[in-house]
Amino acid sequence: MPYVTVGQENSASIDIYYEDFGVGQPVVLIHGFPLSGHSWEKQVGVLLKEGYRVITYHRRGFGDSSQPSSGYDYDTFAADLDTLMTKLDLRNAVLVGFSMGTGEVTRYLGKYGSERVSKAVLMGPVPPFLLKTDDNPEGVPQSIFDGIMKAIAEDRPAYLSTFLKDFFNVDVFLGDSRSERLRQRISNEAVQMSWNVAAGASAKATLDCVPSWLTDFRDDLPRIDVPTLIIHGDADRILPLESTAARLPKLIKNSQLVGHSWRASCH
């Protein structure tokens, strides 16, 4: 199993697990919370078929990566990504982040620049700044995040079940094997697999990642100088469109927002 070492805690190294498939222009896929790089399994196959080199990795604390007691902030996450990019000597890469992974893309480009990157994709983004403050009235109240942390600390497995129901909108999109049309939706088994992955993550990482969502990326965004595709839907129950993606085209040069209206698709 391939790893890149990004640090040390006491007697153990901190290792990031990654997978590197195919040849061609590299596409780096950065997963969401609380999953792992394996959540991209459908996209990996499509990208390989189209002739790309595809790299996935597991964020520290999740999946097959080390589970240290610290480093659950976007400066460290971006440094981990930079170490991986440097080790693999990636050039002309496309950085693709989903949900929490959009923070790595944003902070990486804001801090390390685009020498190795040609394009970026932000799917269901966390930026620009999720916390509601006097100078950020579009954000989400602190009490929401306090409640999330309380739920994780009290009963992490139960919280993960609730989170994934909203993550996948299972009340709307749960499939049914008896119906050809509904069979294409998400299955109970896929939801359970995601819960299994999430449950295997570090309890401390799961808790400590919540404050990282409140990172202020407003200084990073103007530094992004590669074409950037932003994708978001209006039925996202985790990251509200109005607080996140809808604000980004004004903050990222050469960016395009592509949205999807669940309401429109149901009529």
In whole angstroms, what is the distance from residue 29 CA to residue 40 CA? Answer: 7
Residue 87 has pLDDT above 50, yes or no: yes
- 3-class state of residue 55 by DSSP: strand
Q: Report the share of the chain in percent with pLDDT over 90.
A: 90
Largest alpha-carbon pair distance within the chain? 59
Extract the tokens encoding 159.
């919280």
Q: What is the CA radius of gyration of the chain?
A: 18
In whole angstroms, what is the distance from residue 28 CA to residue 94 CA? Answer: 6
Contact 140, 240 (CB under 8 A): yes
- 3-class state of residue 190 by DSSP: helix
The class of domain 3-265 in CATH terms is: alpha beta
Say what angle helices 74-87 and 101-112 make with each other, to 10 degrees. 70
- 3-class state of residue 194 by DSSP: helix
Contact 256, 228 (CB under 8 A): yes
Contact 245, 121 (CB under 8 A): no
Segment 192-236, tens digit of pLDDT: 999 999 999 999 999 999 999 999 999 999 999 999 999 999 999
Extract the tokens encoding 170.
């299972």
Backbone angles phi, psi at 27, to 5 degrees: -120, 120
Half-sphere exposure of 265 (CA within 13 A, CB side): 9
Extract the tokens encoding 41.
């399994």
pLDDT at 1: 80
pLDDT at 76: 98
Q: Report the share of the chain in percent with pLDDT over 70.
A: 94
In whole angstroms, what is the distance from residue 187 CA to residue 192 CA? Answer: 9
Segment 15-72, tens digit of pLDDT: 999 999 999 999 999 999 999 999 999 999 999 999 999 999 999 999 999 999 999 9
Residue 181 has pLDDT above 90, yes or no: no
Domain locations in the chain as residue ranges: 3-265
Residue 246 has pLDDT above 90, yes or no: yes
pLDDT at 264: 38
pLDDT at 127: 98
Q: Does residue 260 or residue 6 have the better pLDDT? A: 6
Residue 263 has pLDDT above 50, yes or no: no
Segment 117-154, tens digit of pLDDT: 999 999 999 999 999 999 999 999 999 999 999 999 99
Please state which of the ranges 49-53, 78-82, 259-263 shows the lowest mean pLDDT: 259-263
Extract the tokens encoding 197.
């992955």
Nearest in space to 209 (alpha carbons), one of 108, 55, 76: 76
